[in-house]
Amino acid sequence: MRAEQEMLQNRIYRHGIGVVAIICVIVGVASLLKSTSVSKDTAHLEIDNPWVDSLHDFIRVSGPVQTLTLEGTEISTDSGRSELRRYPLIRFHYDASGRVIKREDLREDGVPLTPTVYTYDHKGRLVKEAHQDILQITTSETLYKYDSTGRPAKQVHIDTDDGTIFTKRVFAYDEDKGITKLSTFDGERLKTRVEVLGNSQGQIVETRLTFYWPDGSVDPSLSRKSLISYDAFGNVKGKSLFDNSGKLVEEVAFSYELDSHNNWTKQVKDIKHFSEGGTPSLSREVFHRTITYK
C-alpha cells in the first residue's frame, strides 16, 4: 500500500502538481474577500474558501458537475515509437450543491487508491477532511476553524491515532491593504509565510512566499514572488516568478481547450526557465480533465 501511495505521489510531483503543495493553500485565498453568496450552478470545493485544496486550479469548474477526473500525460515508447499517453491522476465527486464531497487518488489503470472525504457545516463551510488509506480507514484529518466574521482562521492536519499535529496553518488579514497572510508551522516552528494580494474579482494577482530556517531567520534562497494574470473565463493565463532579488526566474503561459460549459478539458503550460547568463530552457506540461455532468 505504501509503495502504491509513493508511486502516485511521484507521478503527481513529476507533472508539477506537487509544486502547488509548497504554496498549497495560496490559490484562491483572495476570493475570501468576495461575497459569501453561493451560485447553485457553480461546482466548488468551498466557494469562499477554495484554499482548502492544493489542486484548486485543477478543480475550478462551473455547471452541474458530477465528477471530474484529472489526467496527466507523458511520452511513451512502449509501442516502439514515441507517443503521448494520457493516464488518470485524481477523481473528484460533487454533490447536488456543487461541493466536492470525495477525492480519489488513482492508479495509472484508474483503480482508486486513497480517498479523502469532505464534511461541511450548516453554513456550507468545509470543516473536515478525512484522509483514508486504501482500506478506507481514516488515518488523519484536516480540521478547519473560522473567525467571528466567517473567514478562515486555522487549518490543522492531525494523526487520528494519537492526535499528533502534522501541520498547522494560521490566517491573518490586513484589510486596509487587501492582503491575506498565511503562516505554516511544523509544531511551533514557523516554516513558511505567504502574503496574498487579490483583485476586485477575488482573483490572486500577487503572492510573496517566505521560507524560514529553524532558528526563525529568513532563508532568502527560497523566497519568491509571483505575478498572475487571467483570461476572460477566469483561468490563469500567465505566471511570472521572481527570486528574492527581484530577478525573473520563470515565466509560464497557459492555453486551454473548453467544453460547452466553458470548463477547460485540456491545459497546456509552456514554461520558460531563466538561469544565470544562459539561454532560457523551455518545457511543456499538459493536463486533461474528463468532466461528467448531471
pLDDT digits (tens, 9 = 90+) for 83-107: 677 889 999 999 988 888 999 999 9
Taking 50 as the threshold, does the pLDDT of residue 167 lie above it? yes
How would you classify residue 211: left for phi > 0, otherwise alpha for psi between -120 and 50, otherwise beta? beta
- Cell numbers standing for residue 60: 475550478
The fold for domain 2-293 equals Porin (2.40.160)
At residue 75, the pLDDT reads 65
At 225-254, the pLDDT tens digits run 999 999 999 899 999 999 999 999 999 999
At residue 57, the pLDDT reads 74
Give the global pTM: 0.79
Annotated domain spans of the chain: 2-293
Q: Of the candidates 90, 78, 81, 76, which has an alpha carbon nearest to the alpha carbon of residue 11? A: 90
Average pLDDT of the segment spanning 11-40: 37
Q: What does the longest C-alpha to C-alpha distance in the chain come to?
A: 61
Average pLDDT of the segment spanning 114-136: 93
At 247-279, the pLDDT tens digits run 999 999 999 999 999 999 999 999 999 987 778
- Residue 176 CA to residue 207 CA, distance in Å, equals 17
Taking 60 as the threshold, does the pLDDT of residue 21 lie above it? no
Q: Which residue has the higher pLDDT, 80 or 226?
A: 226
Taking 80 as the threshold, does the pLDDT of residue 32 lie above it? no
At 177-206, the pLDDT tens digits run 778 899 999 988 999 999 988 888 878 899
